Amino acid sequence: MKKAAHHRRQSGTSLIEVMVSLAIGLIILTAIGTVYVSSNNVLRQREDQAQLNDPARIVMRLLRQNLMQAGYVDLFDLDAAGNSQAETLFDAKNVDLANMYVRDPAIGTIETPISRFYAGLTPIFGCDGEMNNTPQGITKVAPPLVPACGTANATRHTLRIAYQGVPVTPANAGNSLLPASGNTGDGLDCLQQAPAAPGSADAGTPDGDTLVINQYSLRIRDDGVSQLACQGSGVVVPPVDDEYGDIASGVEEFILRYQVAAPGLAANEEAAGGAQSQYISATEVTASPQGWAGVTAVEICIISATDQVTRGAAASGTVALQPTRPTCQRSAVGGYQPNIARAAGDTRLWKRFTSVVSLRNAVFATPL
């Protein structure tokens, strides 16, 4: 009996017990693997969101800052004759100067304070597509400027912003703008370049050398990635590999609309700006009675996408969650057009970003 009991204690695990144990183990491993894959996909999708959101915030902050500076002229600066620019610009006896603030199309060509530096230059100028003039081409050629647009494009617009960046009279820097500085960024363009020194080989007109002109547009890199890029008006120090400064990659659409103020009436000394029109395209602004002198706000819309890379299940999950991509294009009634179907093989995450920026230096004043 002792021998029989010993054999029972030494008997092995049955096949059924082994199969049950394996089944339980597989269930546990499957649960762990599912949780891991799901967590990994969520992490990658969050990385995709960060890849979209962080550059977009940089782009919008840069554009807002530049648009708030658009048209700025330092009234405390001294002109070449030593007179205060405030006295030069606010002369109610001069019909042309008065019309900078009334902005009555019936009087004739409407100037802005910054066009007193460089004839034909406005605080902002946009094209519903490409732009022919370059910032450096503007500052190196004698005025007047004749702005012109190139090939139209429904989703890739161009925006130029101009403002006074450095003082006309450096000796007045204590009361005026500071000289250009690489440490603080004062007076530098979007490529972190300073205006040409007056009298240098790179200098154009004396007044043009005090201006900062930045031009934003989309371009396609050699690797096929769409970039929001900027061209500046500062001195380009050789050697130069590229005239553009890339700001953010993956920007596929850059569409702008503009708000224009109602014109004033010089006969009644009524200033413009009492009412605002709907947002219109750059082509419509150019054809409007006030033109670019009447713009008071800019609506920015960009469509950004992550890199086109294979992300395994994360990419499949992105396509499943976002079968179509957004667009900045508008319908006939003003709303955004329906989302666009993805191209074959496109697994990127897409997102639309919008912002409306008022032009702080679009001054409207009633003449005295």
Torsion angles phi and psi, residue 67, rounded to 5: -65, -35
Phi and psi for 61 in degrees, rounded to 5?
-65, -40
Residue 93 to residue 71: CA distance in whole angstroms: 23
Ranges assigned E (strand) in the chain: 124-127, 129-131, 149-152, 158-164, 211-220, 226-231, 245-249, 251-260, 295-305, 324-325, 340-341, 350-358
> Tokens representing 365?
């004043």
Q: Peptide bond preceding 144: is omega within 30 degrees of 0, i.e. cis? A: yes
**Please, are residues 60 and 53 in contact by the beta-carbon 8 Å criterion?**
no
* Rounded CA separation 162/211 (Å): 7
Q: Map tokens 């799901």 to a residue.
A: 38
- Please give the pLDDT value at position 122: 93
With cut-offs at 50, 70 and 90, classify the pLDDT of residue 206: low
C-alpha distances out from residue 163 to 65, 240, 361, Å: 12, 25, 10
* 6, 8, 10, 11, 12 from 1: Cα distances, Å: 9, 11, 14, 16, 20
Write the burial class of residue 346 (CB in 10 Å: 0-12 exposed, 13-18 middle, 19+ buried): middle
Band the pLDDT of 367: cuts 50, 70, 90. very low
**56 contact partners, CB below 8 Å, separation of at least 6:** 248, 302, 304, 351, 353
Rounded distance between C-alpha atoms, residue 340 and residue 322, angstroms:
11
Sole residue written with tokens 């610009």: 89
Whole-number Cα distances in Å, 345 to 46, 247, 304, 323, 341: 21, 26, 17, 12, 12
Q: How confident is the model over 122-153, as pLDDT tens digits? A: 999 999 999 998 888 887 788 899 999 999 99
More confident residue, 36 or 297: 297
Give per-residue pLDDT as tens, 46-90. 667 777 888 888 899 999 999 999 999 998 888 878 888 888 777
What is the Cα–Cα distance from 127 to 286, expressed in whole angstroms?
A: 9
Measured CA to CA in angstroms, residue 77 lies from 92, 100, 111, 315, 334 at distances of 20, 19, 20, 56, 43
Could you tell me which of 325, 270, 271 has the C-alpha nearest to residue 294?
271
Least-confidence region, from 178-182, 257-261, 329-333: 178-182
Residue 105 DSSP code: T
Q: Which one is predicted more confidently, 170 or 287? A: 287
Q: Give mean pLDDT, residues 207-234.
A: 87
Residue 312 is which amino acid? G
Task: State whether residue 318 is helix, strand or coil.
Answer: helix
Mean pLDDT in the chain?
81
Q: What is the DSSP track for 19-80?
A: HHHHHHHHHHHHHHHHHHHHHHHHHHHHHHHHHHHHHHHHHHHHHHHHHHHTT---TTSB-T
